[in-house]
Every structure is written in C-alpha cells, then in structure tokens.
Amino acid sequence: MEYVTIYVMGKEYQVPKGLTIMKALEETGYQFVRGAGCRGGFCGACGTVFRTRDSYKTKVGLACQTVIEDGMYLTQLPFYPANKALYDFKKLAPTGETLVALYPEVMRCIACNSCTKICPQDIKVMDYVNAAIRGDIAKCADLSFNCVMCGLCATRCPAEIVQYYVGLLARRLYGAYIAKPAPHLKTRQKEMAEKKFDDEIAKLMAMDTKALKELYDKRDIEK
C-alpha cells in the first residue's frame, strides 16, 4: 500500500493514500465525538482548514468529502462562535431592511471575497452578501441555497459578518413571503377541514389484505 504524510495539528502521521481526511484521522487513532456528523457532505460538522507545501494559500474542505494530499497540514474547525439573531419570524417583512436590522454588520462588507474563496461548497458567498445589502432577497436565497452551514466563511470575514445566518434568513423570507403559496395546497387544506376524504380512508382501513391488494394491483399510475 502506498502511504502519504499528513500533519494533524502539526503532528506527523503516515496514512494510506487515497483516504478522505475523515478516514485518515480515524486511521491515526482518533475517534470522533466532535468534527463528524453525516459523513456525506450535508451537515457541515467537519469543516477542515489545511495548507500544502506547494502553495501559500489556505485551503478548506469538508473532511468527509476531501481526499488527503501528501504534505497536508490540517486542523478541523468543528465549531466557531457566531451570534444568530433571534426573531419572531411571523412578524418579519421580506425586505432588505429586515436583513440589515437583524444583521447590521453586513453593511461592513469590504468586498474582499475571502468568504467565497474559503467556501467548501463553492458558493459565491460575497455575492449573496451583496445581494442582501441591495435588498435582493430572491438572489440572496438562490445563491446561498447549497449552504451546509459549516461556518468557515465567518472564520475568515474581516468585517465579522456571519454570512450563513444571513443566507438562512433570506431563504426563509423568500420561501414564506416572496415565493407564491401553492394554490392547490390551500384547496386541499379546505377539503381536509371539510372531512372530504374521511369516509374513503375509513373504507380502506376496513378492508382486508386481499381486497386492498386487488385495489393496489390495478391502481392507475400517473404518466
């Protein structure tokens, strides 16, 4: 087996080539309590910062999705302090003023683009922060959609913005107030209140397996 050298918080380890950072850490004897979550790239628990020998650049990745490289110096950032604004969501208006009132620090953005550069999801973070400043909630919501809330953007921000909470609020405002409510859902809720389907369900519940199976096997399937 081919091995590569990695440095876990500065300490040197030899691990088999081709592992993800997460599996490499386990290979060195770590059992995660913090720093591991879904292990599938969705939860943002395993944000990892690293440098390699060939570049001065700080790089990042989710430990469960990033393959180790020879000479990688790494540390996990399983947590980073951030203040989330508290709000009564039902009382908010879907405007830029709402975003700025709850997160006034967005106005401090100096357009350095550090957040975009560090995002392991390749989200254009600075662009959505700018959309928030302009009051373009729809754009902010759309651009931030793939966010797994790992928090790495906030670790780099010289203006101390917590970008991922701004994106979260923009998406909720968009989903609740800007996107149109589903008209068919309103109709169905009304029908449910009128107990339109209760009898039919009761009839199905009273059927034995044989009768149900007959119905099921000949049910029509929407094309």
Partner 1 sequence: MYPQSMQESIKKLNETRNFRMTQKIPLLTPEAKQDLLKRFHPDYIEQAMREIKVGPNKGERTPHEFADLFEAYSLIDPQKIEIKKPDIETDVLIIGGGGAGCAAALEAQAAGAKVLLVTKLRIADANTTMAQGGIQAADKPNDSPAIHYLDVMGGGGYKNVPDLVRALVMDAPEIIAWLEELGVMFDKSPDGTMQTIHGGGTSRKRMHACRDYTGLEIMRCIKDEIINRQVKIMEFTSAIELLTDEDGRCAGALLLNMENGQLLVAQAKATIIATGGAGRLHVQGFPTSNHYGATADGLVIAYRAGAKLVFMDTIQYHPTGVAFPTQIVGQLITEKTRSIGAQLVNAEGERFIYELETRDTVASAIIRECKERKKGVTTPTGDSGVWLDTPLIEIVSGPGTILKQLPAMYRQFINFGIDMTKEPILTYPTQHYQNGGILINDKGESNIPGLYVAGEAAGGIHGRNRLMGNSLLDILVFGRRAGRASAQVALGLFPNKKNSKIGLTHIIKYHQELEAIGIPKERKSPKLLPDYRPAPFKGHFTFLDRLNM
Are 41 and 20 a contacting pair, CB within 8 Å? no
**Strands 3-8 and 72-76, bridge-based pairing:** parallel
CB of 158 to partner 1, least distance (A): 26
Tokens of 76: 């996990």
**Residues 166-185, interacting with partner 1 (CB under 8 A):** 168-169, 171-177, 179-185
**Residues 178-217, interacting with partner 1 (CB under 8 A):** 179-185, 187-189, 192, 197, 200-201, 204-205, 209, 212-213, 215-217
**Residues 96-115, interacting with partner 1 (CB under 8 A):** none
- In sequence order, the 6+-apart residues with CB closer than 8 A to the CB of 122 are none
| Residue 23 within binding range of partner 1, rule CB under 8 A | yes
- 5 phi, psi to nearest 5 deg: -105, 130
CB of 111 to partner 1, least distance (A): 25
- Strand locations in the chain (E): 3-8, 11-16, 47-51, 59-62, 72-76
CB of 78 to partner 1, least distance (A): 9
The residue within the footprint of partner 1, chosen from 4, 6, 8, 36 (CB under 8 A), is 36
What is the C-alpha separation between 73 and 71, in angstroms, rounded? 6
**Residues 113-132, interacting with partner 1 (CB under 8 A):** 121-122
CB of 110 to partner 1, least distance (A): 27
